[in-house]
């Protein structure tokens, strides 16, 4: 699975600019679904038909990643920018970004006089090697994602954009392993999650599923002075109970726990006090759906070195397959 994960996490695709990562996902799911479509917003929807006895299930994993967008170019050819999604200034200095054409930029900030302080985003810039505004090859409105090679070290997998390409990897792998299902399943590789779960909202309104399951990363409480949280890296897939945007459907949580226990899949219960996922818009679209989330524990979320554990990824795939292969009794 590492080869698939490497290609996914290294692909370019800030929110709203998912074309390249979508083209790659499409090549991976071709042949695994009955039909594949792309909606007006850019969500890739892979439909796998059931035998007619089950429910309509929407699986959502977001393709987009956090990034930067150029707001203006200085006379000297430096790019000022705004954030695309949850970018924190203290993760930026010295990092490299990549534009859609592959061009690399270095992120730095105006001179720091007080080393105990970090400049706001507005006092950072990107240097693409231009000498002036006139010869700058990048302009206003261009979007950049971060650059970091994928690393597998023991069971730990480290990369930018694990959020949420690892969810995309779990979805693709589950599609490969799922031999048959009673359910009519729509695997949605969604857009614009990082700017407010927008793609999944449009898709859920159109598909109107009975059940929605998001696949996304969650935080862990196992690093120095972490926010207290009872999820650790390597201790199993995480079944979401609550986050700051939703309370998971209790019947679906029960089904997830039962499936995990029956199949001997290690799991942890997740109560996340910050952030939400595509499960929230699915839950409240149209007349509502029974929604929940299989979370992949992840350290350093929204940094350029997000870390997951291969065993948690594997257990997330196994749990998803177990849920989809069996009746869902809510
Ligand atoms: Co995120
Ligand atoms: Zn995410």
Give all strands of the β-sheet with 211-218 in edge-to-edge order: 35-38, 44-48, 184-190, 56-62, 211-218, 290-297, 237-242, 267-271
Q: Where are the domains of the chain?
A: 2-65+160-325, 67-146
pLDDT digits (tens, 9 = 90+) for 153-166: 999 999 999 999 99
pLDDT digits (tens, 9 = 90+) for 302-327: 999 999 999 999 999 999 999 999 99
d(Cα 302, Cα 274) in Å, to the nearest integer? 13
> Distance, CA 133 to ligand 2 centroid (Å)?
35
Nearest Cα to Cα of residue 225 among 311, 306, 161, 299? 299
Tally: H helices and E strands in the chain: 7, 17
User: Which residues neighbour ligand 2 (ion) by CB within 5 Å?
Assistant: 163-164, 216
> Distance, CA 277 to ligand 1 centroid (Å)?
8
Asked if pLDDT for residue 81 goes beyond 90, the answer is yes
Nearest Cα to Cα of residue 126 among 195, 76, 161, 85? 76
Asked if pLDDT for residue 47 goes beyond 90, the answer is yes
> Distance, CA 255 to ligand 2 centroid (Å)?
23
Q: What is the mean pLDDT of residues 190-214?
A: 98
pLDDT digits (tens, 9 = 90+) for 130-176: 999 999 999 999 999 999 999 999 999 999 999 999 999 999 999 99
Query: Which helix (H) or strand (E) is 45 found in, with range?
Result: strand 44-48
Q: What is the pLDDT of residue 65?
A: 98
pLDDT digits (tens, 9 = 90+) for 25-37: 999 999 999 999 9
Q: Are strands 151-153 and 211-218 parallel, antiparallel or unpaired?
A: unpaired
Nearest Cα to Cα of residue 301 among 104, 88, 50? 88
**Burial zone of 191 (CB within 10 Å; 0-12 exposed, 13-18 middle, 19+ buried):** buried
Q: What is the mean pLDDT of residues 31-58?
A: 97
Ligand found nearest the CA of 67:
1
d(Cα 300, Cα 160) in Å, to the nearest integer? 10
Ligand found nearest the CA of 164:
2
pLDDT band at 58 (very low <50, low <70, confident <90, very high): very high
d(Cα 9, Cα 1) in Å, to the nearest integer? 12
pLDDT digits (tens, 9 = 90+) for 262-305: 999 999 999 999 999 999 999 999 999 999 999 999 999 999 99
Q: What is the mean pLDDT of residues 62-83?
A: 98
Nearest Cα to Cα of residue 21 among 35, 33, 34, 38? 38
Ligand found nearest the CA of 301:
1
Asked if pLDDT for residue 115 goes beyond 90, the answer is no
> Distance, CA 167 to ligand 2 centroid (Å)?
8
The verdict on whether 193 is a catalytic residue reads: yes
Task: Give the torsion sign (CA, 22, 292, 285, 174).
Answer: positive
CB neighbours (10 Å) of residue 291? 28
> Distance, CA 86 to ligand 1 centroid (Å)?
7
Catalytic residue, candidates 10, 18, 173, 193:
193
Q: What is the pLDDT of residue 142?
A: 98
Percent of the chain residues topping a pLDDT of 90: 99
Ligand found nearest the CA of 62:
2
Can you give the pTM of this predicted structure? 0.97
> Distance, CA 229 to ligand 1 centroid (Å)?
18
**67-146 belongs to which CATH class?**
mainly beta
The CATH homologous superfamily to which domain 2-65+160-325 belongs is: Zn peptidases (3.40.630.10)
């Amino acid at each position: 699975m590492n080869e698939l994960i490497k290609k996914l996490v290294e692909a370019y695709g800030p929110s709203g600019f998912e074309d390249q990562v979508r083209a790659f996902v499409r090549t991976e799911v071709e042949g695994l679904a009955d039909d594949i479509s792309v909606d007006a917003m850019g969500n890739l929807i892979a439909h796998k038909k059931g035998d007619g006895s089950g429910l309509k299930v929407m699986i959502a994993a977001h393709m987009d990643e956090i990034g930067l967008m150029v707001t203006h170019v200085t006379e000297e050819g430096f790019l000022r920018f705004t954030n695309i999604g949850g970018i924190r200034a203290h993760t930026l200095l010295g990092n490299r970004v990549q534009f859609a054409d592959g061009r690399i930029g270095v992120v730095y900030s105006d001179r720091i006089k007080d080393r105990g302080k970090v400049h706001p985003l507005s006092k950072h810039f990107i240097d693409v090697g231009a000498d002036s505004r006139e010869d700058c090859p990048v302009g206003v409105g261009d979007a950049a994602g971060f650059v970091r090679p994928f690393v597998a070290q023991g069971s730990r997998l480290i990369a930018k954009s694990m959020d949420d390409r690892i969810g995309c990897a779990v979805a693709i792998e589950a599609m490969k392993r799922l031999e048959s299902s009673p359910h009519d399943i729509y695997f949605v590789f969604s857009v614009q999650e990082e700017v407010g779960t927008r793609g999944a909202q449009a898709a859920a309104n159109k598909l109107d599923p009975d059940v929605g399951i998001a696949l996304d990363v969650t935080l862990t409480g196992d690093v120095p002075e972490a926010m207290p949280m009872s999820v650790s890296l390597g201790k199993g897939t995480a079944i979401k109970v609550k986050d700051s945007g939703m309370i998971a459907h209790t019947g679906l949580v029960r089904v997830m726990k039962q499936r995990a226990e029956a199949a001997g899949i290690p799991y942890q219960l997740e109560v996340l006090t910050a952030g939400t996922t595509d499960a929230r818009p699915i839950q409240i679209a149209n007349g509502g759906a029974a929604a929940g989330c299989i979370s992949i524990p992840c350290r350093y979320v929204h940094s350029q070195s997000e870390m997951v554990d291969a065993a948690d990824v594997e257990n997330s795939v196994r749990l998803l397959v177990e849920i989809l292969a069996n009746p869902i009794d809510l």
